């Protein structure tokens, strides 16, 4: 047990500004910390937690909620460090993401919440499948109702804590009434399958806290101090949860920045932070406006941009780190040229300034932009990683393996069952399945139960019945095996990996890829499957509660429970979780995933109308402001060097299109940026032959010596030719070549792929 005497409180207040000190020293009552980018938010939060403990709070009385697992992990580490070893891993504050906290507690209080303890969590793909099924059941044409738009509508409703019945009551027009119909069917499917989607995790938790006074009081007593990070991104459901948890003691500290609110599309309600004082009267408010991260011109550029927004709360940012270098804004020929510009920018910093790769990041609005960048990084031999934590779990073979595992935990999970019943193919096809289904519906059986009675269904071939029997026996066998005790898995090696391996083998997934001759791709799939086994081997379950009360919940750990916890952790990974600051590589990620990160050098690409700001935001002032905040988040990730760029021409869905400059570029204060046009005004045709307009920003570093005037070269399309002239430049060096076939052409050196032959 830590005690107040052993924490060095002097250390906790060392090197803090006055507002930071105020935030750290605040103990009881509501506190709002408005933390601009780079304002030392993490330091303040961790030291404040340490200070609470120094003031007599027990670690397990503190609950901190974040948005990503990575943020939670980092906060936990830093708190432990700030406490100088006076807490161990079983006696730390509870630090979790909103979703994982809710998921865990809903298992614990499954009865009170009206749920099955072994419920499945549906990710967006599962949700999509379930919505398609509901569309069929609601007799609506899936042509007019795309799963995506329906999912968004249902998600919005749930974030507002409207269940299907409430939604239906307020549905008046054709559109909302149709959505209401689908919502009702969708929710019935989830209920029948014992499944929750992401939004349900929050909604069910909010409802549980609302409906059960007993449970609510347990939580309020248990967690005396509540902390919420990135408060500007909370939605209504999350607000209700926070409000309930803080009920009574009112010890709630929220940290956030309205200028970094970028999840409006996910239901985040910026008024939560703007109206905090109204929700929690007598709240103390601390504004951290000094930026300790970025140099002057970068801060000025960001501040100038964000001033174009109207819904704001705080004042201008300032820094004391000096002016630094001005950010550059470049116009490139196309996306390949732009990618080259990025790799050149980073290579120079790496070579000339000894900047390590891990101190650099490329940010973009949409994931599809990563492709071209990836290519350029490979070509330039710069080590990079793309932050896509979810990508691994989106792979077909992984989803299949996970579906088998989900079925072991929850045989009612029909989405999982449908996914794998014929994967690998075992002769249970569409026709067989629909016959089974029909028979099952008549008897009101769930799908897995109808499979058990396949022998009684008319019109099935013996072969089909045998396949089904084998399949059911296989699943039931695993279910029995999963009842084994696993309570020593915290100390000894956990039995999970062995089980996962068994399922992958016995299901035939392994054999499917092993036996195929499609070696290249299937080899990779096999490797992914073994990676899944390793992931399960390394899995350590979070205790339901750490030390203190309710420890008995941590006993009785069976293999199924361990498996359920593993599947839960897998369902709730985010892209940002994959960012490893020690990886020694450049990180490529979306602007959204970049929130909370910082790098010495940052490149933001695609500053074009319809991209940043995104198409969907154009014509909508609220969304436009969110896009601007997104751009603001991007700029403020940079400590010392920032390069922004756009391509004059970009290939979009297979079409080469001219782009328009992003309005945000013209909003940047001209005194704090440098613009350099690397493109050329004249027409660009698809032979990749560009004509230079003028010779700006020449550089002698280009290896133009490769192609001296007069040498003979070969071009893939035009054949042999003689070099007439060469214009060296840092980017887009051009070369005039006289071809016998098409006459003289001016080509861009790096695209023409010329081969010297004489």
* Per annotation, catalytic residue among 70, 637, 640, 729: 637
Torsion over CA: 444, 445, 446, 447 (sign): negative
First to last CA, the chain: 80
Q: Which residues contact 668 (CB under 8 A, 6 or more apart)?
A: 301, 304, 305, 327, 329
725: part of which helix (H) or strand (E)?
Answer: strand 719-727
135-154 mask for DNA (x: CB under 7 A)? Answer: -----------x-x------
Question: Smallest distance from the beta carbon of 69 to DNA, in angstroms?
Answer: 8
> Which listed residue (20, 39, 46, 68) binds DNA by CB under 7 A?
68
Give CA separation, 196 vs 226, 270, 274, 393, 404, in Å: 26, 26, 31, 18, 18
379-398 mask for DNA (x: CB under 7 A)? Answer: ----------xx--------
CA distance 525 to 514: 9
The distance of Cα 449 from the centroid of its chain, to the nearest Å, equals 37
Question: Smallest distance from the beta carbon of 265 to DNA, in angstroms?
Answer: 4
Q: Do β-strands 734-739 and 719-727 pair in parallel, antiparallel, or remain unpaired?
A: antiparallel
> Which listed residue (85, 281, 619, 654) binds DNA by CB under 7 A?
654
Compare residues 284 and 418 and give the one whose CB is closer to DNA.
418
Enumerate residues 548-587 that contact DNA by CB under 7 A: 572-577
Judge whether 637 counts as a catalytic residue.
yes
Closest CA to 550 of 240, 245, 223, 241: 223
By CB under 7 A, which span of 181-189, 262-270, 310-318, 480-488 interacts with DNA? Answer: 262-270
DSSP 541: P
420-439 mask for DNA (x: CB under 7 A)? Answer: --x--xxxxxxxx-------
Question: Smallest distance from the beta carbon of 709 to DNA, in angstroms?
Answer: 35
CA distance 353 to 601: 11
By CB under 7 A, which span of 7-15, 340-348, 363-371, 436-444 interacts with DNA? Answer: 363-371
By CB under 7 A, which span of 366-374, 541-549, 673-681, 749-757 interacts with DNA? Answer: 366-374
Q: Tally the residues of the chain.
A: 758
> Which listed residue (11, 347, 651, 741) binds DNA by CB under 7 A?
651
Compare residues 465 and 537 and give the one whose CB is closer to DNA.
465
Q: Establish if 590 lies at the interface with DNA (CB under 7 A).
A: yes
Q: Establish if 363 lies at the interface with DNA (CB under 7 A).
A: no
Q: Which residues contact 488 (CB under 8 A, 6 or more apart)?
A: none
Compare residues 389 and 728 and give the one whose CB is closer to DNA.
389
Judge whether 663 counts as a catalytic residue.
no
Q: Establish if 517 lies at the interface with DNA (CB under 7 A).
A: no
Q: What is the DSSP string of 396-454?
A: HHHHHHHHHHHHHH-TT-HHHHHHHTTSS--S--HHHHHHHHHHHHHHT--HHHHHHTG
Give CA separation, 96 vs 122, 267, 545, in Å: 20, 20, 12
Judge whether 260 counts as a catalytic residue.
yes
CA distance 613 to 608: 7
Judge whether 88 counts as a catalytic residue.
no
Compare residues 247 and 389 and give the one whose CB is closer to DNA.
389
Enumerate residues 595-634 that contact DNA by CB under 7 A: 614-617
Dihedral pair phi/psi, residue 388, rounded to 5°: -140, 80
Judge whether 41 counts as a catalytic residue.
yes
Cβ 593 vs Cβ 365: under 8 Å: no
Judge whether 358 counts as a catalytic residue.
no
> Which listed residue (198, 346, 448, 478) binds DNA by CB under 7 A?
198
- The catalytic residue positions are 41-42, 229-230, 260, 637
Q: Using CB under 7 A, list all residues that contact DNA.
A: 67-68, 97-100, 123-124, 132, 146, 148, 198-199, 262, 265-266, 365-368, 371, 389-390, 422, 425-432, 464, 572-577, 590, 592-593, 614-617, 651, 653-654
């Amino acid at each position: 047990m830590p005690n107040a005497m052993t924490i060095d409180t002097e250390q906790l207040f060392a090197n803090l500004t006055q507002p930071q000190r105020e935030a750290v020293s605040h103990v009881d009552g509501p506190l709002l910390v408005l933390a601009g980018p780079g304002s030392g938010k993490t330091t303040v939060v961790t030291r404040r937690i340490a200070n609470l403990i120094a003031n007599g709070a027990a670690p397990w009385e503190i609950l901190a909620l974040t948005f990503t697992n990575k943020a939670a992990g980092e906060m936990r580490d830093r708190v432990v460090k700030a406490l100088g070893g006076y807490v161990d891993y079983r006696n730390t504050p509870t630090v979790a993401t909103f979703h994982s906290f809710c998921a865990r507690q809903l298992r614990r209080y499954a009865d009170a919440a009206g749920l099955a303890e072994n419920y499945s969590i549906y990710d967006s793909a599962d949700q999509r499948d379930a919505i398609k099924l509901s569309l069929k059941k609601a007799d609506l044409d899936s042509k007019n109702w795309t799963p995506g738009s329906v999912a968004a509508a249902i998600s919005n409703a749930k974030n507002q804590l409207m269940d299907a019945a409430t939604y239906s009551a307020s549905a008046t027009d054709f559109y909302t009434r149709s959505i209401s119909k689908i919502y009702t069917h969708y929710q019935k499917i989830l209920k029948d399958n014992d499944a929750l989607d992401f939004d349900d995790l929050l909604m069910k938790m909010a409802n549980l806290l609302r409906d059960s006074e007993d449970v609510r009081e347990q939580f309020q007593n248990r967690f005396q101090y509540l902390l919420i990070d990135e408060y500007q991104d909370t939605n209504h459901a999350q607000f209700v949860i926070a409000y309930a948890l803080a009920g009574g003691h009112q010890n709630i500290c929220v940290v956030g920045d309205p200028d970094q609110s970028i999840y409006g599309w996910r239901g985040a309600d910026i008024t939560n932070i703007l109206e905090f004082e109204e929700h929690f009267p007598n709240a103390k408010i601390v504004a951290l406006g000094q930026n300790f991260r970025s140099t002057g011109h970068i801060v000025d550029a960001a501040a100038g941009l964000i001033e174009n927004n109207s819904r704001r709360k705080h004042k201008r940012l300032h820094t004391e780190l000096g002016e630094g270098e001005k950010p550059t804004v470049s116009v490139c020929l196309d996306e390949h040229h732009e990618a080259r510009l990025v790799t050149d920018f980073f290579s120079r910093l790496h070579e000339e300034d000894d900047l390590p790769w891990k101190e650099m990041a490329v940010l973009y609005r949409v994931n599809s932009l990563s492709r071209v960048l990836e290519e350029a990084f490979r070509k330039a031999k710069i080590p990079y990683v793309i932050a896509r934590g979810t990508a691994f779990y989106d792979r077909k073979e992984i989803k299949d393996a996970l579906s088998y595992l989900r079925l072991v935990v929850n045989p009612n999970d029909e989405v999982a069952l449908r996914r794998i019943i014929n994967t690998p193919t075992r002769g249970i096809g569409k026709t067989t399945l629909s016959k089974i289904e029909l028979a099952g519906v008549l008897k009101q059986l769930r799908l897995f139960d109808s499979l058990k009675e396949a022998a009684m269904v008319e019109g099935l071939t013996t072969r089909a019945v045998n396949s089904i029997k084998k399949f059911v026996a296989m699943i039931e066998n695993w279910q029995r095996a999963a009842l084994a005790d696993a309570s020593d898995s915290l100390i000894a090696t956990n039995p999970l990996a062995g089980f996962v391996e068994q399922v992958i083998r016995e299901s035939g997934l392994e054999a499917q890829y092993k036996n195929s001759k499609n070696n290249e791709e299937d080899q990779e799939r096999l490797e992914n499957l073994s990676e899944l086994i390793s992931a399960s081997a390394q899995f350590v379950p979070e205790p339901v509660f750490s030390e203190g009360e309710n420890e008995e919940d941590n006993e009785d750990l069976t293999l199924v429970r361990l498996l359920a916890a593993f599947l839960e952790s897998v369902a709730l990974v985010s892209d940002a979780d994959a960012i490893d600051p020690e990886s020694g590589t450049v990180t490529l990620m979306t602007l959204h995933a970049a929130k909370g990160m910082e790098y010495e050098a940052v490149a933001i690409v695609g500053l074009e109308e319809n991209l940043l700001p995104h198409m969907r935001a154009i014509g909508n002032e609220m969304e436009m402001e969110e896009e601007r905040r997104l751009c603001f988040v991007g700029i403020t990730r940079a400590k010392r060097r920032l390069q922004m760029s756009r391509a004059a021409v970009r290939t979009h869905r297979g079409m080469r299109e001219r782009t328009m400059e992003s309005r945000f570029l013209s909003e940047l204060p001209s005194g704090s940026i440098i613009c350099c046009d690397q493109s050329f005004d004249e027409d660009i045709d698809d032979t990749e032959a560009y004509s230079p307009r003028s010779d700006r920003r020449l550089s002698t570093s280009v290896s133009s010596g490769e192609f001296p005037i007069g040498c003979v070269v070969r071009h893939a399309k035009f054949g042999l030719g003689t070099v007439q002239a060469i214009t060296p430049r840092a980017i887009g060096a051009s070369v005039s070549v006289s071809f016998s076939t098409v006459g003289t052409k001016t080509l861009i050196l790096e695209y023409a792929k010329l081969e010297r032959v004489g």
